Each structure stands twice: as structure tokens, then as C-alpha cells.
Amino acid sequence: MTGDTIAAIATGMTNSGIGIVRISGNEAFHIIDKIYQSKNGKKKISEMESHTVHYGYIVDGNQIIDEVMVLILKAPNTYTREDTIEIDCHGGVLVVQKILETVIKYGARPAEPGEFTKRAFLNGRIDLSQAESVMDVIQAKNDFALKTSMEQLKGSVLKVVKELREKIIYEIAYIESALDDPEHYDLTGYGEKLDSIINPIMNEIQKLLVTADNGKILKEGINTAIVGKPNAGKSSLLNSLVGKERAIVTDIAGTTRDILEEQINLNGISLNVIDTAGIRKTDDIVEKIGVDRAKESIKDADLVIYVVDSSRELSNEDDDIIELIKEKNTIILLNKMDLAPVVTKDEMLKLSDKKVISISAKENKGIDELEETIKDMFFHGKIEMNDEVYITNVRHKTALKNAYDSLELVKKSIENQMPEDFYSIDLMNAYEELGTIIGESVEDDLVNEIFSKFCMGK
Ligand SMILES: Nc1nc2c(ncn2[C@@H]2O[C@H](COP(=O)(O)OP(=O)(O)OP(=O)(O)O)[C@@H](O)[C@H]2O)c(=O)[nH]1
Ligand SMILES: [Mg+2]
């Protein structure tokens, strides 16, 4: 147990139906006894049964602060494993703050961000990957993110990582024992055997690493830049994807000057779409800044949508754009298919090896095909959420990568017929790296770093 008693507002700081102030620690009941007054009886709240709700007032001396419901949770069956009180009060920002101030006045200290979850971790209720997923659940932007975070919260990552670590530690233990006691444990031919044990472990890690790439995109959204010449219909496309008139559309070339960003949800996948200024040579200072930004946005994009006005001849500027997008994931849209075509798919395919789709942003045609293509591009057609474990956390990904590299070193040592203690050094590194994912053998710094990222009151 950590000792002191912490308190924080657990709900958002806006006026809402209810607000919750949470208290956790040894003094939690002592504090609530001093500031809670029940509606009828005089009984102390600390004498009531655990996991019950009580109706009364929060008071500071004679002054009533709010009418509340108090939830009492006695250790160890609580989130933090400590005595916990939750005060449900009216949801006005001022009221909630007043209650927190009173709780602090009578002995609690304001919690650091994420400190409740940190205590849950330190007191052994959850592992580190679960703790991190608490934050992810709170911040989930779409169905996928929510679902994977919930899976992780239930311990999906923990399970896989634990299994891998068990296999590795077994081999380390074997090597150590054999080196100590060669009469009972034989290491002849062990290198080969170890190699055959490491391979499936490395495959498993590799599989997790692949999900990490999808995972990041699924969680944070695909950064998508819509680019093209002025008047091609970029803003019209954005509007069509968003489903409302978000960007200004006119027939004047050079309408969009600055970058405009919108989030779109495609059946559970988020797209962070930016509409950019039409790319062309210009002497207009403001437009030129916009054009430079448009070019810059190509560099940062996971996906570029290059919109071409198919009712007009291509020009040098199209060649320039094709050059800029050469290395990027790109979909070329031949827009304005409702008009007489001047640029055809075949012509476009001669200039670029990218996927080409005909659409009409104005009449909303071809948008479905665009959406399907995006899904295929990023998830090879299958984005349905199966039971696969997804890695959605950058820290986990790095640790997996490091573990993989260490195992590769083990393989090298085997290949070069190095002495066995070389194997165990790198096996140990892999073991420790995997351990950092679930918070075993982690440094205090790392723990603090992770928990300080949490929202207050969680
Ligand atoms: N016929 C037809 N017209 C379209 C289509 N898409 C866009 N337009 C028209 O093309 C003109 C330019 O559209 P915008 O969406 O403003 O083009 P933009 O690429 O954003 O242009 P800039 O912001 O100037 O770079 C407008 O008059 C639109 O109504 C389409 O599919 N068919
Ligand atoms: Mg525009």
C-alpha cells in the first residue's frame, strides 16, 4: 500500500448530469466521516457495509455543499485495492470543485494524473499493458480502438507475452543449469534444438509486429491528404466524404488557400482527411504558402488521394504532382465523370502505376469504390475484428522489436557456434524486453512516464 490518500475529480470538467469525486487510500473513510452527513440517521459511513450507496450531504462544518450519493468500497475489492470512496454529486463544474477542495481540506492530497491506475498496478490488480489500455479506452476515437483497448484491458496482450516469456525463461534456466551441472544436463546438440524453439517465438513476435502497423492506423486514423490542381474538385470530394458542406467550393481556381482537416469514419476506420490548396505555380503570396503546405502534406500522409479533373487536358503541373506522389500510397481519382471525358483511365495508367478510380464528387458517384479501395489497401480486405491480438501501443511495438532483434542475435550465436552463455545473455535481453510490456522488471521511470500520461482521476 502506498500510504497517503489521494482524491480527484473523475468526470469531465464540463457542466453535466453528475460529477464524481474519487478518494483512495487509508484515510478515505476517515475523511468521508468528517464531511458526510446522512439524510436521517447519524451513523458513520465507515461503519456501513462495503459496496453500498448512501444518500446525504457533503458538509464543511455547518455549511452544506451539495446533496450527494456516496459509494463506499472497502479494500481490497476496489480498483486501487485500497479503501475507496466515490462521491456522486451534481455535475456543475463549481460544485464538483468545491467538493474536491473539501476532501483535500480534510486530509487527502490531489492525485497526480493516472495515479489511481498507477496504484491499481502497484498493488497488483492489473499489469502494465492493462493499465495503458485504460487510457486507450478513455481516448478511443472509433469502434476498433475501443474494441482493441477493451481486449487489452481484459489481458489479451498480457496472455501472449506471458506465454512467450515462459518459453524463453525455460531455456535460460536450462542453459544455466547445464553450465552449472554438466553431469546431469547435456548441451550437445542444444544449439540446434534452441534454434527450433526460437523460430516459432520469432514468428509469433513478427505477427504481433504486423498487427502493430495496422493497429496504429486503426487507432489513430489514416492520415489522408487530398491533393491535385486547382478546381479539380478536392473540396467537393471532402464534402462528399464528410457528408456536409464543410469546405468552400466555387468554380474559381484557387478557392482553398489553407489546409482544412476533418475526421471521417469509414465503417469503424478513422480517416484524418485534409483538403489542400490546388497545386500550381503562382505569384500570389498567400496562395503560394497554401501550395507549399499542400506539397508538405504529401510527405506526412499515410494515403494520398490525387484528384484529377477528367474533363480537362493534363498539364505539366500534373507531371509535377505525379512525381511528388511517386513513393506514396496513392489513389488517383478521375473526377467529374459526369462530364465528357478528356482524360481516360488508360492514359492515366500510362503515367503512373497507382490505382485509378472514376468518380463524380458533385453527384456522389464512385465514392463507395473509393472507400472499398482504401480498406483493401490498408487491411488487405479484412478489417473485421476477429480474435487476433492487436498491438496498438508504440511502446509495446518497440519492445517487441527489441526482443525480436535479441532473438536474432541468439540465432547468430548458434550459427557461429559460440559458447552457450552467449545464448543466455541475448535470451535474457529478449525476456526483459517482453517484460517491459507487461510491467515486470520495469524501471520506476518507465512506470512514472506511463502513468503521468493518464487523465486526472483515472
Ligand atoms: N461537373 C462536375 N463538377 C464538379 C465535380 N466536382 C467538383 N466540381 C466543380 O468544380 C469546381 C471546383 O470544385 P472544388 O471542389 O472547389 O475544387 P478544388 O479542387 O477544391 O479547387 P481549389 O480549392 O481551387 O484548389 C466547382 O465548381 C465544383 O462544383 C464533379 O464531379 N462534376
Ligand atoms: Mg478547394
Query: Domains of the chain by range and CATH?
Result: 6-111 (3.30.1360.120), 132-216+393-452 (1.20.120.430), 221-379 (3.40.50.300)
Cβ–ligand 1 distance for 365 under 6 Å, the answer no
Cβ–ligand 1 distance for 254 under 6 Å, the answer yes
The alpha carbon of 327 and the centre of ligand 1 are apart by a number of angstroms equal to: 26
pLDDT at 363 over 80: yes
Q: Tens digit of pLDDT for each residue in 68-127? A: 999 999 999 999 999 999 999 998 888 999 999 999 999 999 988 788 888 888 888 888
The alpha carbon of 259 and the centre of ligand 2 are apart by a number of angstroms equal to: 9
Closest-lying ligand 1 atom to the alpha carbon of residue 253: 24
- What is the strand order of the sheet 6-9 is part of? 36-38, 52-60, 63-73, 84-90, 18-24, 6-9, 109-110
Cβ–ligand 1 distance for 253 under 6 Å, the answer yes
Q: Tens digit of pLDDT for each residue in 378-398? A: 765 444 444 456 666 777 888
The alpha carbon of 278 and the centre of ligand 1 are apart by a number of angstroms equal to: 11
- Distance, C-alpha 258 to centroid of its chain: 28
pLDDT at 165 over 50: yes
Cβ–ligand 1 distance for 230 under 6 Å, the answer yes
Q: Tens digit of pLDDT for each residue in 9-29? A: 988 777 778 889 999 999 999
Tell me the pairing of strands 269-275 and 109-110. unpaired
What's the pLDDT band for 324 if we cut at 50, 70, 90?
A: very high
- How much is the pLDDT for 173? 84
Mean pLDDT of 269-274: 86
Which of 71, 76, 74 lies closest to 120 in space, CA to CA? 76
Cβ–ligand 1 distance for 208 under 6 Å, the answer no
- How much is the pLDDT for 381? 40
- Distance, C-alpha 297 to centroid of its chain: 22
Whether this prediction's pTM lies above 0.85 is answered by: no
C-alpha separations of 12 from 102, 302, 430, 444 in Å: 19, 32, 40, 29
- How much is the pLDDT for 230? 95
Cβ–ligand 1 distance for 256 under 6 Å, the answer yes
The alpha carbon of 251 and the centre of ligand 1 are apart by a number of angstroms equal to: 6
Mean pLDDT across the chain, nearest whole number?
A: 86
